[in-house]
Structures are given as C-alpha cells and as structure tokens.
Amino acid sequence: MAIAKDNLGSAAKIEFERTHFSSLLLANPNYFGTIKGSKLKAVKAFSGNTTYEKLMCVGFHPQLSQLEAVVHVLKNAGYSESLCSGGSPEYVRFYTSADGGATWHDEGLAKFHAYNVAGPRPLEYAVSLGINPKRTFCIKENILKVRAILSWNVSPTPNNPNFIPVWGNVVNVDVLVDPRRFWPWQDFVLEAELKLPKSLEKLAIINEPLEVSSLVETPLAELHATYTKEKVPGHRYMYPVLSAMSAVPATNPAMMSLDAGVIASIADLKIDIGKLIEAIAKTDGNTDYEELTCVGYDPNNDALVGVIKVKKSSGYSGNMCSTGSREYVAFWVDWGDGAGWTYEGTSSVRVHDVGSMPAGGLQFAVFEALGSVKRRKACWTGPVTAKVRAIMSWQTPPSTSDPNWVPTWGNREETVIQLNPGALAEDYRPMLESVSGVPICSIDQSTGMTNAVYNQPFGGTLTITGMIPTSPDISTADASKLRYRVQVRKLSPLGSWQTVDNDFWISVIERIGIALPVQYSILQQVDGSGYFTYREDMNVGGAGWRLVQNRVLAQWITADPMVGMYEIKVDAKDPVTNIFYSAQTIACAGGGTRTNVKVWLDEKQPTVALAVTGFQRGGGPVQPSAVCDTFLVGDVIHGTYGVADEHAGAFSLTVQPAAMANGALPSPSGKTYPILPNLGENGTWTLDTAAMDPCGYVIRLYAHDRTIVSGGGSWDRETFVGFCLKRG
C-alpha cells in the first residue's frame, strides 16, 4: 500500500494498483486480467472495484431524449491530483439495446473529473448524453435496455458492451422512449398494421408526413373502468382531479364550472368523494408507484439531475397515446452561506401506463439548470460544496416556498455536490473551457497536446466549448443578444487570426415556467462581422432558462495540410452598446493561467507495411517465402511489419478468420505507446500454426495514432497479407 496525501495534508492509504494504474496498463494492457482471450498474462486479476467511485443510477428523460447517470465519489483521495490540478477522469459509456440485450448500440461517452480533496462524502455527480433512438407509434410501447459502464481513468473502449472496468462498475436498466409524432404515409400504414384495399395500394405516395395530434387526457370514466380492474386505488387515479378541485376556492367561477362537470362524472360512476379525500389525507410520501432514487450534479452542464424509478405498470393516468401524468422534482440548495435552503427550480418528466413492467421497473430522469457560476471559487480557497434537497411529487408541483413540503405521492432525497474550481468574472467576458472534450488546463501549452502520460494532439473537427457567465434574459430578442467570435492562427510560421465561420448545429434544452423541458436544435451561423449569436441563458431565477448542451461555441473543421501548433481565442460584443469583451483568464494548476489555448494539429494517418518473409518446418532453418504461399500445419511463419507516425499510438497483429485459428496470434501481437516508440517502429513477427485448422488466412496489421480526431477516435490504417494452410 502506498501512502498518499490529499490537498489538505490528511493521510490516506491508496493501493499501489490505484496510484500506478496508468503505468501498469501501459506496460501490460491485461495487467488486471480484464481482456478476455488476451495472450498477455494477468499479473493481478481483479475488476469492478467500487471502493472509490460507484455508478448508482441510470435514467432517461424521454421528452429530452437524454440519458442521465449518477455516480458517487466515495473517498477524499485516490483521484491522482488535487483541486488545483487536473484531478482524474471518471468515464461513463452508454449502450442501448432494442432486442432485449441480444445486440447493443454504442451511444457515446460522457465524463467528469474527480479530485483529491477533503470534505463530506459521498459527492454525487451526474453525466448527461443525448441520444436519438428509433421511435414507434404510440400504440406500441418502446422499451429499451440501457447499459452504462463507469471506468476511472481509462475510457471504456468503443463498441464493446462487455468492457470490464477495473475501477468502476456496470449498471443495466430499462427505459421508455416517447412515441414518434411525424410519419410518412407508408410508414404509418405499416406501423399501425393497416390493411389497405388493393385499389389504394398503388396510389401515389404522399410526400407530406402525417402528424399525430397532441396527446389528450384519458376520460375519467375510462380510467375508472381500467383501474378498477387493475386494482389501482381510487385515491391514486382520482388524486389529480381532487387535488385540483381543492387547490382553488369554490368561489372561482371557472373552477365551479369545471367542478360541476367533474362532479357529474363522479356521480355517474358512483364514486364516494369523501372516502377518497380521507384516503388522500392519510397518504404521506407514498412510494408504491414511483420513487426518487438518486440526485447528482452535472458539472459539464451546470445542472441538477434526478433519477426516478417507476414501479408499476398502471396508475399514471393513461397509456402512451394519452397525456399520461408528470413526475415533478423541486430542487433546493443550501450553499452554506447562512441563508438556508434556496429554491433553485422545478423540472418534470412525463410518464405513462405500460402493458408489461420490467422486473426492475422503468428508470426516468429529470434535468434542471442550476446557474451556479457566481458561486465558483479559485481552487486554492478550497472546495465549494453544497447540500441539495430534491422533492419529487406525482402530478402536483412541489411547493416553491417550503423546503420541508411533503408530497402525497413521492419522496425526497438529499445529497452533497461539489462545483468545479475556478472563479469566473460576472460580466460579459467569455471563457474557453475545452477543446474536443479536453479541459484547456489539461493541454500542455509547450506542446499543444494533452498533459497526461498518453499525450495526444488534435485533428479532424475540433469542438470548442465555453461560456459567457452572465447573458441577457431568454426573452431578449435575437437582435439584442450577445455575440461571440472564435478565431484561430498558426504559430509557426506566425499567421494572422482567422475567424471560424462555418455553420454548425447546437442542441439546446429549454424550460419555461413549470412546463416540461424541451430539446431542439439551432443552426449557428456567423453574421457579417464573423460573430455567432450566444444562445444560452442561465438566469434560472427568471421565467425560464435555455442551456446549450455541452456549451459548444464552435466546430472548427481542420484537415491536412493544417499541421503544427495553432492558437485559439474567443471574444464577445454587445450589439446594443457595441462594447467589446476580450476573454477572461482562468487559473490552472501550479499557478498557470489560460486566456487563449494552443493546440497541436496532426492530420496525417499512420503508414503501415506488412510482409511474409519465410517459414520454419520441424525446427529446421528459416526458408524464404512470400505472400500467398501455402504452408503446412505446424510451420512457424516469419514476417516483417512497419508502423510510422508522428504520434504513434498502438498496433495489433491478428489472424483472420479467428475461429479457425483457435487462438493463435503473431508474436508480437501488438504494442502500445510508450512501449511503442513515439515515431513507430519496424520489426519482425512469427506465427506458430500448430493449433490452427487448415484454411485460407490473412494476417491483419492495424495501427492507430494518438490524435484526438473529432472529439473521439484516432487516425488509423490497416493492411493485410494472406497465406494458405494445409495438413502435411
């Protein structure tokens, strides 16, 4: 066990496998035995360790089409670096399955950073990821399985739903996707299983899509008939009606007319209102139907997230073709400033009855912008933590004035969150946050590459993110909204500043009042001066808010021959006052600062070469050979390989078809940087065919570099050589 200290000096015992995790994997990617079928011998086999972090809940907001995951950070140390350094990444990769888990689709990766820092534990973080699942007609429930994989310090490999994390865990849940609203005519006929007369089957296709009308409330008589059969208690399905009636004085004429109609329906159904009101009065914080299970803070979007487990198949005011009902969550925060609980907003999600409830229930999520920029502080002043209280209530919005309000149907959860370090000026000066997912303080300004062991350059389309801490209210007309500009220049030889002016799409989440949040896209285009309109409004105390997901400022399209060191900057202007705002400077580790950021561009793929040069038979000498020769089972084939790149990452040698090779691999089967030199290498390989079946084979050389291409992936290349194998 190694002894490590957090940034306040308290001693903590950290395992050797934790403190040396990255270097152990670089030396042997299968050190922990997590790569099934690997020829590399495991040194210490263990996985799924949740001592330091644990993925607790996964949910889905069907109206936003957004996945949420809540992760508990459990200790004060063991996260590589302090608050004034980069901390260490906690990755969550999401998969979805529409066929019960038989096949999985990689939806993408999200992450946050955890730090060595004193304070209360656990800290509850959240990550968010928008997806675009296939939607069906409302008469068919569309339940997806979701798998989320948490992995500390190492990103779960893409398209590998069976990835085994060493530090982290895997959670599987079921979620419900909202129905599709717009339908091409022929798709609608197929989905609704309509049988057209033969005379209509060959009519001209209608180009305009059909739009399914807005959802309508299920009539009370229909709910009564259905729920009586399904044994849903009356004080559950009548609760929305009775609570609405009691919320408005009887002297209100509009309410009196509504009451008259409702009361007439109740009378026709012979429902005893008195008994139902009495039952509701005795119901206090009931979680038989739904339960708020997790609350977390999403630092990437400065938002609070809640995960709700819906437990029963009915009791939610209607099926997928109806309005169903809403689960509300009100968020309160105690910032520790003596003001007590501060109301920060109420968000909601729509839920419905389903025909068949999965064993573990359905997991929903809510998402609420926090607007906490003004509360952030410089890292050397210590962590900014706060208590969060979330109150969930079915169909009735929680109180906005009473943090101790108790719901009839629902519950409350409390947790502790921590804001990211870094004090920001509360004016219109913009700030850069990240490039292709890498925080700007984690980019070495002497190299333009990530400052981790596996230092990486950038390439492809660079996603540049940032924010303007204070912006005009969401109701401000577009002509008066703030403008911002992103510019780049090459540093060697020094070039002039060029404006990033290509169009790109952003995804925004917006909530007005207590309406359901909505998600939609906006095409960002520069004006005549090269400025984009700033779309975000985090003035959450007003009538609503709009969040630009992941705070994308620009998509900078780079390509060969754009190689070498470049600099990125951002500025803003107020179109009303014509005041210009340069970017603000943020503090980084070790006293460093960033205003602009320098990045190294690598736009070139690796070059690869592969050849068969000879073979050995029966332990004899090496005899010359060439590509596409025929060998005998038991021969040892010899060859050469070459991998070259400015920033080599890794290469692998494999045999295809693998099933016929019975596990045989060339030696070496691969290398990873820094064992693989930075510029690559030329070498020799051998393949023992003793265990292989007679067949036609190819040996595949696959190589990739370390470049972060378009926010994920790398530049790669492959080549093959073939041969045949027969019995002697």
Could you report the per-residue pLDDT of 17-47, keeping only the tens digit for each?
Answer: 999 998 888 778 889 999 877 777 889 999 9
Pick from 301, 578, 596, 552: which is nearest to 431 by CA?
596
pLDDT reported for residue 191 = 60
pLDDT reported for residue 227 = 95
Do 401 and 550 sit in the same domain of this protein?
Answer: no
371 exposed, middle or buried (CB, 10 Å; 0-12, 13-18, 19+)? Answer: buried
Compute φ and ψ for 381, nearest 5 degrees. -85, -5
Q: Is the pLDDT of residue 193 over 80?
A: no
Do 387 and 263 sit in the same domain of this protein?
Answer: no
Do 577 and 480 sit in the same domain of this protein?
Answer: yes
Per-residue pLDDT, averaged over 605-630, amounts to 95
Domain count of the fold of the chain? 5
pLDDT reported for residue 269 = 77
Do 246 and 309 sit in the same domain of this protein?
Answer: no
Compute φ and ψ for 677, nearest 5 degrees. -55, 155
Q: What pTM does this model have?
A: 0.80
Q: Does residue 522 lie within any of the structural domains?
A: yes
pLDDT digits (tens, 9 = 90+) for 315-345: 999 999 899 999 999 999 999 999 999 999 9
Contacts with 371 (C-beta within 8 Å, 6 or more apart), sequence order: 302, 344, 538, 539, 540, 541, 545
Q: Is the pLDDT of residue 248 over 50?
A: no
Residue 515's domain spans which residues?
431-601
Cα–Cα distance measured from residue 318 to residue 352, given in angstroms and rounded to the nearest whole number: 6
Cα 312 from chain centre: 27
Do 470 and 557 sit in the same domain of this protein?
Answer: yes
Q: Does residue 424 lie within any of the structural domains?
A: no
Cα–Cα distance measured from residue 351 to residue 317, given in angstroms and rounded to the nearest whole number: 9
Cα–Cα distance measured from residue 661 to residue 273, given in angstroms and rounded to the nearest whole number: 74
Q: Is the pLDDT of residue 541 over 70?
A: no
Q: Does residue 426 lie within any of the structural domains?
A: no
Do 361 and 502 sit in the same domain of this protein?
Answer: no
pLDDT reported for residue 5 = 38
**Can you list the pairs that 586-592 forms with residues at least 24 positions away whose Cβ atoms lie under 8 Å?**
586/422, 586/424, 586/431, 586/440, 586/441, 587/378, 587/379, 587/422, 587/423, 588/440, 588/441, 589/81, 589/84, 589/85, 589/86, 589/441, 590/84, 590/85, 592/441, 592/445
Cα–Cα distance measured from residue 468 to residue 571, given in angstroms and rounded to the nearest whole number: 10
Helix axes 239-247, 273-282, angle to 10 degrees: 90
pLDDT reported for residue 257 = 42
pLDDT reported for residue 189 = 59
pLDDT digits (tens, 9 = 90+) for 366-412: 999 998 888 888 888 889 999 999 999 999 999 999 999 999 999 99
Average pLDDT over the chain, rounded to an integer? 88
Do 277 and 399 sit in the same domain of this protein?
Answer: no
Look at phi and psi of residue 503 and say left if phi exceeds 0, alpha if psi is from -120 to 50, else beta.
Answer: beta
497 exposed, middle or buried (CB, 10 Å; 0-12, 13-18, 19+)? Answer: exposed
Q: Among the three residues 156, 190, 211, which one is the final residue of a domain in this structure? A: 211
Do 175 and 315 sit in the same domain of this protein?
Answer: yes
Do 314 and 166 sit in the same domain of this protein?
Answer: yes
User: Cβ atoms within 10 A of the Cβ of 151, count?
Assistant: 26
Q: Among the three residues 253, 282, 311, which one is the final residue of a domain in this structure? A: 282
Do 612 and 666 sit in the same domain of this protein?
Answer: yes
pLDDT reported for residue 196 = 61
Q: Is the pLDDT of residue 249 over 80?
A: no
Do 173 and 194 sit in the same domain of this protein?
Answer: no
Q: Among the three residues 263, 282, 301, which one is the final residue of a domain in this structure? A: 282
pLDDT digits (tens, 9 = 90+) for 275-295: 888 888 888 899 999 999 999
Q: Does residue 165 lie within any of the structural domains?
A: yes
Do 21 and 44 sit in the same domain of this protein?
Answer: yes
Q: Does residue 198 lie within any of the structural domains?
A: yes
